[in-house]
Chains A and B, each alone.
Chain A
Amino acid sequence: MSVAAVPAAQVQALPSTRELSRRRAITRFRWSILGPLIALLVFVLMPVLFLQLYFSLHQWTVYLGTWWDAEYVGLELFQEVLTDPRFGWAVVRSLSFATGSTIGCFLIGFALAYLMYKPFRGQAFYYIIFILPMLTVPVVVAYTAEMMLYQSGPLNDLITRIIGIEFKPAWLTNPHIALPTVMLLEIWNWAPFSFIIMLAGLTAIPKEPIEAAEILGASKWRIFWEVQLPLLRPVIFLALVLRFLEAMAEFPKTWALLQGGPGTATETLPVYIFLTTWQYFQISKGAAMSYIVMLLMVVIVLFAIRLLRREKRSLDTMYAKAAARPQELA
């Protein structure tokens, strides 16, 4: 009987007791974190999602019968929602609102972060000032803005005095500018959010590439454009995606200020879903709408995750190349 020789490298050494204990501790730690999350998913989120799915597949009229006796209608409600022009317009308004306000928030947030990321005297004071709008309750923002934005209100008056020409846009009652007005309020309210994320991103950029570029005599603009910005790309995507998702769900300011009006100028998705569910009491249609919006958001999030991964890969490659270069040079 012959015994095949096995190279020593192929023999797996049995883990030591200490290693086993370490692995068990890691597993326990993982479950201690994952357990509550899974419980939350199973016992809180999933029942709500299933209930919502049930409602969106059953036509329940709150005035007739109980919800568990509701008539099964299959995908009829989804079809109704998808062929409802009012829903289509609400999607268009929400997308344009979210896009506009996300870009606005990002540009302002990034600009402020760029001004603030290097330490200077009194930085903490400015930091507090810049994040104050984010700490203001949206409904308060709406009511304060209402006072400011009357045609003969302080804002128009102030601008008229500054430019010397009568400036009297009807910010809240002209259907063409009502939504952009809410967008401006959203930017004011949430630009600090982008500011915080971008400030964290800028602060976390390794100093070496910037110092290297400075030594090589690159201008500040070139350093920003060719070093900092590429390194910040994952953070930028994160800031844009998070803000976009938040903006799609904006409700308090739009509702408190305009309730979807004038006409239907500010009837965004959250407003229309609210009206359908809590003004018209069409719980089932509201559930179907919410599902469609949720799917839309999931698509956006998946797309964003893909982009983020691509950005991370590209960054990893860039860092790997940068790490390899000194060896090549040597």
Chain B
Amino acid sequence: MTKFNVSRRTFMEGGVGFTVANLLPGTTPLAFAATMEERTIAAAKTVGAADVSGMIWSPYLVPMQPVIADFKKATGIGVGAVQDISIFDTPQRAMAEALSRSPQFDFIHIDSNMIPSLASAGYLEPLDEYMKKADFKIDAVGDYAKFMTYKGQTYGIPTDGNVHIQYVRKDLIEDPDNKKRYADKHGKELKFPETWEDEFRIQQTLMDPAKDLYGSGSLRNRANGPTWWYMMFYSAGGFTFDDDMNATLNTPAGQYAVDIYLQEKKVAHPESAGWGTPQMIPRIAQGHVVTAQYWDGTARLNENPAKSKTTGKWLYGLVPGSDFSGKRIHRSISSPLAALLVNKYSPRKAQAAYLALWLGSGKNSIPIVSDPVNTFNDAWAKEHMTSELVQKAYSPAGIKAIEANFQVVSPPTYLTGYLEFQDTLGKNLSEAYVGQLPAKDVLKKTDEEWNAIVRRIGRTKLKEELASYKALMPKRNVPA
């Protein structure tokens, strides 16, 4: 056995030297930091204290504040002035910042589907170097961390999974009278829907407009409608573009998705054509719908007895799939996926980046995603799935559903020009939904308009991005 002869003086000198070396910028000072959070703090300390400014909607910011306060205490990095605007308005504001190359905001909290557009406009700071220095990993469920990447670089840290899960009213589906009625009418057992067709049958059978109970709580307004359509389209085996960036919506899979999308008009509230979340979420939580695909945060609201009349009355699970392609495919969606992005032109970009890492660690984000009142930030990290606090907020069934849907989660059109692709599709679907456009023309028109967008933005550029988009598509057709 070898005995090390290290004097007390040598040991002390070595320790001091190592500490000094750790504090030098550009070195990797984190060898002894035990956890990812500690490593983030150590890395952040090397860039100095600052109050960073950002663009963020207060319902997202409020539950983050105690976590930010901890970071401020540990590193001197906190949040100063913020512009409090809705996440739906942030893309326009962020693009205005990008065009003017403004250093005003150090970070923006935004739908990560804007990453290609903002990165193309030169606004975003890649975060990989910061992540490397802190040995940080986005420890997301499934392949979800890829949603933060574009052309091989990481540009965002998620704060809100926002995956769609299936909601079905347990009390209605388990009611013996309803079971009999359904079996008599359809010759099948009434159970949790597995396909879009199953869901529609359940909605038709169990809805009762006289009691203000409608079949569907899914959204069909112009702004949100495409999010639902994508689930149907992808699950039918469709994809938005071919390898040469020609739009491929006008296909049998696309038309199938349009038909499924539009048939819900028969089971939805008469005003669904104009309703968004402010109208629909209360209706779900107050028990006025039979089923819906909806953002996972609504489960938290449903399970909060102070805010909901339907606590304990829901079944949560995988969104319906389709056999249209010859095999069963389920595709959930995450949009808008709120994430923290850092401004390349900011003088405090390093501080903003480390703050984002701090907020995006699995452990730190547990209190953020389990806040029962500000339910905007939703679970996404592996650590969330096993956390007692998070399970309590969503219910164990809710968390199980989130985990399952994350395994088949897909993005909307993850390309530069996202908002234009999205609104063009939304406009045409909405026109068909309110009878301004024949259903058969929706995709023909959308294909033409999308091809025009591709020509304008640049086919070559978008072809380069297509790989990033395809990489986000799930590898599984059904969750493990």
Which single residue of chain B is at the shortest CB-CB distance from A59?
A: B456
Contact A262 B222 (CB under 8 A): yes
Contact A170–B431 (Cβ < 8 Å): no
> Is B318 in contact with chain A by the CB < 8 A criterion?
no
Interface size grouping (class) on chain A: 20 to 34
Encode B434-449 as 1/0 by CB contact (under 8 A) with A.
1111000000000000
Q: Quick check: is B346 within 8 A (CB to CB) of the other chain? A: no
Q: Which residues of A contact B417 (CB under 8 A)?
A: 63, 280-281
A262-B271 Cα distance, complex, nearest whole Å? 10
Closest residue of B by beta carbon distance from A280: B420
Interchain nearest-CB distance for A15 vs B (Å)? 55
Asked whether A173 lies within 8 Å of B419 as measured between CB atoms, the reply is: no
Which residues of chain B are within 8 angstroms of A61 by Cβ–Cβ distance?
456-458
A280 — which chain B residues lie within 8 A by C-beta? 417, 419-420, 423, 453
Q: Is the CB of B435 within 8 A of A175?
A: yes
Q: Are B270 and A262 in contact (CB under 8 A)?
A: no
Q: Which residues of A contact B433 (CB under 8 A)?
A: 262-263
B54 to chain A, nearest CB (A): 20
Asked whether, in the complex, the Cβ of B222 is within 8 Å of the Cβ of A259, the reply is yes
Contacts of A265 in B (CB 8 A): 434, 436
Which residue of B120, B279, B430 is within 8 Å of A261 (Cβ)? B430
Residues on A with beta carbons closer than 8 Å to the beta carbon of B437: 263
List residues of A (264-295) whose CB comes within 8 Å of B's CBs: 264-265, 267, 275, 278-283
Supposing A63-B121, A175-B436 touch, asked if A151 and B270 sit within 8 A by C-beta, the answer is yes
Which residues of the partner chain B approach A267 to less than 8 Å between Cβ atoms? 427
* A170, A178, A263, A275: residue with the most chain B Cβ atoms closer than 10 Å: A263
How far is A187 from B223 in the complex, measured between Cα atoms in Å? 27
CB-contacts of A57-101 with B (<8 A): 59, 61-64
Q: How large is the interface on B (under 10, 10 to 19, 20 to 34, 35 or more residues)?
A: 35 or more
- Shortest B468–chain A CB gap in Å is 14
| A260 & B419 in contact (Cβ 8 Å cutoff) | no
Within 8 Å CB of A264, what residues of B?
Answer: 427, 430-431, 436
CB distance A263 to B222 under 8 Å?
yes
* B99 sits at the interface (CB 8 A): yes
Note all chain A residues with C-beta closer than 8 A to B453: 280
Identify A170's interface contact among B223, B270, B420, CB under 8 A: B270
* Given A63-B416, A259-B222, A282:B271 Cβ within 8 A: no
A231 at the interface (CB under 8 A from B): no
Q: Are B95 and A260 in contact (CB under 8 A)?
A: no
| Complex contact B436–A260 (CB within 8 A) | no
At the interface, yes or no: B149 with Cβ under 8 Å from chain A? no
**Which residues from chain A contact B275 at a C-beta distance below 8 Å?**
173
Instruction: Give the CA-CA distance A134 to B367 in the complex, in Å.
Output: 45
Output the least CB separation between B439 and chain A (Å). Answer: 13
User: Is A113 positioned at the interface, with any CB of B under 8 Å from its CB?
Assistant: no
| Contact indicator B270/A263 (Cβ below 8 Å) | no
CA distance A282 to B461 in the complex (A): 17
| Distance from B273 Cβ to chain A, minimum over Cβ atoms (Å) | 4
CB of B431 within 8 A of CB of A150, answer no
Min distance, Cβ B122 to any Cβ of chain A, angstroms: 9
Asked if A199 is an interface residue, CB under 8 A from chain B, the answer is: no
Task: Kindly state the separation between the CA atoms of A40 and B435 in the bound complex, as whole angstroms.
Answer: 49
- List residues of chain A with CB within 8 A of the CB of B120: 62-64
A263-B430 in contact (CB<8A): yes
Q: How far is the CB of B258 from chain A (nearest CB, A)?
A: 15
Instruction: Among A59, A63, A173, A283, point to the contact of B274 (Cβ < 8 A).
Output: A173
B272 contacts across to A, CB distance below 8 A:
173
How many angstroms from the CA of A262 to the CA of B433 in the assembled complex? 9
Known: A62-B95, A63-B416, A263-B433. A258 touches B423 (CB 8 A): no
B153 within 8 A of A: no
B92 at the interface (CB under 8 A from A): yes
Say yes or no for A235: interface residue by CB 8 A criterion: no
Q: Are the CB atoms of B436 and A261 closer together than 8 Å?
A: no
Docked CA distance A282–B435 (Å)? 28
Q: A residues within 8 A CB of B457?
A: 61, 63-64
A172 at the interface (CB under 8 A from B): yes
B81-97 interface bits toward A, Cβ cutoff 8 Å, 1 = contact, 0 = none: 00000000001100110
CB within 8 Å of A: which of B118-150?
Answer: 120-121
Q: Which chain A positions have C-beta within 8 A of B430?
A: 261-264
- Which of A64, A259, A262, A263 makes the CB contact (< 8 A) with B461? A64
Q: Quick check: is B221 within 8 A (CB to CB) of the other chain? A: yes
How many angstroms between the C-alpha atoms of A170 and B221 in the bound complex? Answer: 14
Q: Which residues of A contact B416 (CB under 8 A)?
A: 63
Report chain B residues within 8 Å CB of A62: 95, 98-99, 120-121
Contact A261 B461 (CB under 8 A): no
Q: Are A63 and B423 in contact (CB under 8 A)?
A: no
Find the residue from B95, B221, B273, B275 having the highest chain A CB count within 10 A.
B273
Question: When the two chains form the complex, which single residue of B98, B273, B432, B456 contacts A282, counting CB atoms closer than 8 Å?
Answer: B456
Instruction: Find chain A residues with CB under 8 A from B279 CB.
Output: 150
| B434 cross-chain contacts in A, Cβ below 8 A | 173-175, 262-263, 265
State in angstroms the CA–CA spacing of A262 and B431 once bound together.
7
Closest Cβ neighbor of A62 among chain B residues:
B121
- Residue B117 at the chain A interface, CB threshold 8 Å: yes
> Which residues of B have CB within 8 Å of A172?
271, 274
- Give chain A nearest CB distance to B434 CB in angstroms: 4
Which residues on the B side are within 8 Å of A281 (C-beta)?
Answer: 95, 117, 417, 419-420
State how many angstroms separate the Cβ of B301 from the closest Cβ of chain A. 20
Q: Which of A63, A170, A258 has the most CB of B within 10 A?
A: A63
CB distance from A46 to the nearest CB of B (A): 21
Q: How far is the CA of A174 from the CA of B435 in the complex (A)?
A: 10
CA distance A78 to B431 in the complex (A): 26
Q: How far is the CA of A75 from the CA of B96 in the complex (A)?
A: 26
| In the complex, chain B residues whose CB is within 8 Å of the CB of A64 | 120, 457-458, 461
Bound-state CA distance A150–B212 (Å) is: 14
Q: Are B436's CB and A279's CB within 8 A?
A: no
CB B413 to nearest CB in A, in angstroms, measures 13
CB-CB < 8 A to B274: which residues of A?
170, 172-173, 178, 258, 261-262
Distance of A151 Cα from B209 Cα, bound (Å): 13
Which residues of chain A in 291-306 are interfacial with respect to chain B, using CB atoms and an 8 Å cutoff? none
Determine the residue in chain A with the shortest Cβ distance to B220. Answer: A262
Contact between chains at B92 and A278 (CB < 8 Å): yes
B27-67 vs A, Cβ < 8 Å mask (1 yes, 0 no): 00000000000000000000000000000000000000000
Q: How far does the alpha carbon of A136 sit from the alpha carbon of B27 in the complex, in Å?
A: 58
> Mask for A93-129, Cβ within 8 A of B = 1, else 0?
0000000000000000000000000000000000000
Contacts of B98 in A (CB 8 A): 62
Within the complex, what minimum Cβ distance (angstroms) separates A138 from chain B? Answer: 16
CB distance from A278 to the nearest CB of B (A): 4
CA distance A281 to B221 in the complex (A): 22
Q: Can you offer 7 A-B residue contacts whose CB atoms are under 8 A?
A: A173-B271, A178-B274, A261-B222, A263-B434, A264-B431, A265-B436, A267-B427
Residues of A participating in the B interface, judged by any CB pair closer than 8 Å: 59, 61-64, 150-151, 170, 172-175, 178, 258-265, 267, 275, 278-283
**Across chains A and B, which 4 residue pairs bring their CB atoms closest together, nearest first?**
A173-B274, A63-B120, A263-B431, A280-B420
Given contact pairs A150-B271, A263-B222, a sample of 10 additional A-B residue pairs in the complex whose CB atoms are under 8 Å apart: A61-B457, A62-B95, A172-B271, A173-B272, A173-B274, A261-B223, A261-B430, A263-B433, A265-B434, A282-B456
